[in-house]
Structures are given as C-alpha cells and as structure tokens.
A and B are shown apart, each in its own frame.
Chain A
Amino acid sequence: DIVMTQSPDSLTVSLGERATINCKSSRNVLYSSNNKNYLAWYQQKPGQPPKLLISWASTRESGVPDRFSGSGSGTDFTLTISSLQAEDAAVYYCQHYYNIPYIFGQGTKLEIK
C-alpha cells in the first residue's frame, strides 16, 4: 500500500495569514502516461462529511474559494490556504487514488487564532 503522511498533525494560524499543509506519499503517485498526479485534498468540519477541495493535486473543485490551492508532484504535495478565514477551521486530508487501496493521510487539524 502507498502510505500517505501529512505534516503537521495540527497547526494554528492567525486570521488573514497563510496556512500550509504537507502530504508525502511513500511512492510516486504521478502516472507517467497522462502526467497526472492521483492526489486529492478534502476538508472536514465537525459532524459533516468531507468536502472535496482539490483533485489531480492542483485542480480546484467548482465553488471552492481561490484562496485554496494545491501543488506538488510525484511524492510531495502541499495544500495552501492563503488569507485564512474563520470558516477554514477544519481537518484536512490528502488522499491518493493511484492504485488500490486508496489511502488517506492521517489528517491535519487547522485552528484559527
């Protein structure tokens, strides 16, 4: 299985500042034939299902604010939230879908100061 490791486990960032969450896969999730990274980012708030923010490592879903961006390739990925808003407090997960089984990172809890 491809293991996904997120860092940090938690972070506290001030309103209006930038938050950066990292995700590292134990093996490459870039599919060479189509040059796509099989990596997604989700946001989960308490009592709610996860919400897909970004797919293919950097493609923002419709309706997701442009302060959310994804980057990286191969084994190292980053979710950046610029200019944090109060509603961004949540747990964030990365997930690979390169092969079976799809695996999620352990989650990063983001708190707003």
Chain B
Amino acid sequence: QVQLQESGPGLVKPSETLSLTCSVSGASMNNYFWTWIRQPPGKGLEWIGYISYSGSTNYNPSLMSRGSLSLDASRSQFSLNLTSVTAADTAVYFCARGGTSSDLWGQGTLVTVSS
C-alpha cells in the first residue's frame, strides 16, 4: 500500500524558509510526478508545483519564485522549500502523487508562520 507522509517544522518565523519533506513508502518514485498543494485554514486548495522522477519542475507563478522542489529517489523523498515566508503562507501543506490530477495524498501538515 503506497503511503505519503509530510514532515517538517510546524512553526516558521516570518522572512525565514519553510522546508518540508514528503516520504513515500510502498512504491517506487520512478515514473511518477510528485506534487505539493496547500490549504490555508478554512479555505480552498492551492497548487504549489510538481517535480518529476527525473527532476523537472513546474511551479505556481503566484509563489513569485520563492518555491523550489527537489527529489531524492534513493531515500524515497521529495521536498519543498519556500523562502521569505509571511503569514499568508500559513496553511496545511499536502504532498501528493501525480502531475495532472493527484490520486494519492499525504495527511497534510500544518505550518504556521508567526514570530
């Protein structure tokens, strides 16, 4: 059974970098795209970007180049870095599988941006 699990700090200070990792278990990362999506508390879903198994990436331009994705297939992990965070980046961050629709999701992790 394939599972995804997000990990990382739950609290980040304004202007610092948010770093999250998604661990994939139960399947190889090969031949899939891997995605990050976030959801501010009580609000809707925002697509952040995806990375392919070969390392190619696509990002939401709304992030204004603050986001970067990386993948380490040997560790079955992929990661999100979001720089210069503000309170507007407070959200539940989900990792998911898929470069079009996302058929498998982690449970999500709440990241709060606050001093």
The interface-forming segment of A71-79, A81-89, A94-102 is: A94-102
Contacts A49-B94, A49-B106, A61-B103 given; indicate if A93 touches B60 (C-beta within 8 A). no
Q: Using a CB-CB cutoff of 8 Å, which residues 51-91 of chain B contact chain A?
A: 58-62
| A91 closest partner in B (C-beta) | B44
A55 at the interface (CB under 8 A from B): yes
The 7 closest A-B pairs by CB, nearest first: A49-B105, A40-B101, A101-B60, A102-B47, A55-B101, A104-B45, A97-B100
Which secondary structure dominates where chain A touches chain B?
A: loop
A97–B101 contact, CB under 8 A?
yes
Q: Say yes or no: A101 contacts B61, CB within 8 Å.
A: yes
**From B104, which residue of chain A is reached at the shortest CB distance?**
A52
Contact of A38 among B44, B58, B100 (CB under 8 A): B100
**Which residues of B have CB within 8 Å of A48?**
107
A101 in complex: contacting residue of B47, B94, B103, CB < 8 Å? B47
From 25 to 64 in chain A, residues with beta carbon under 8 angstroms from any chain B beta carbon are 38, 40, 42, 48-52, 55, 61
A interface list, Cβ under 8 A from B: 38, 40, 42, 48-52, 55, 61, 93, 95, 97, 100-107
Once the chains are docked, how many angstroms separate the CA of A107 from the CA of B40? 13
Q: Tell me whether A50 and B100 are in contact (CB under 8 A).
A: no
B102: Cβ under 8 A from any A Cβ: yes
Nearest CB on A from B91, distance (A): 13
Complex interface: chain B residues within 8 A of A97 (CB):
100-101
- How far, in whole Å, are A38 and B107 apart by their CA atoms in the complex? 25
Q: Is the CB of A100 within 8 A of B44?
A: no
Is A52 a contact of B102 with CB atoms below 8 Å?
A: yes
Residues of B within 8 Å of A103, CB to CB, are: 47
User: Shortest Cβ distance from A63 into chain B, in angstroms?
Assistant: 11
5 contacts between A and B (CB under 8 A): A52-B102, A52-B103, A95-B101, A97-B101, A100-B58
Q: Smallest distance from the beta carbon of A97 to chain B beta carbons, Å? A: 4
B110 to chain A, nearest CB (A): 11
B96: chain A residues within 8 A (beta carbon): 49
Cα–Cα distance between A49 and B105 once the two chains are bound (Å): 6
Interface membership of chain B positions 104-115, coded 1 if the CB is closer than 8 angstroms to chain A and 0 otherwise: 011110000000
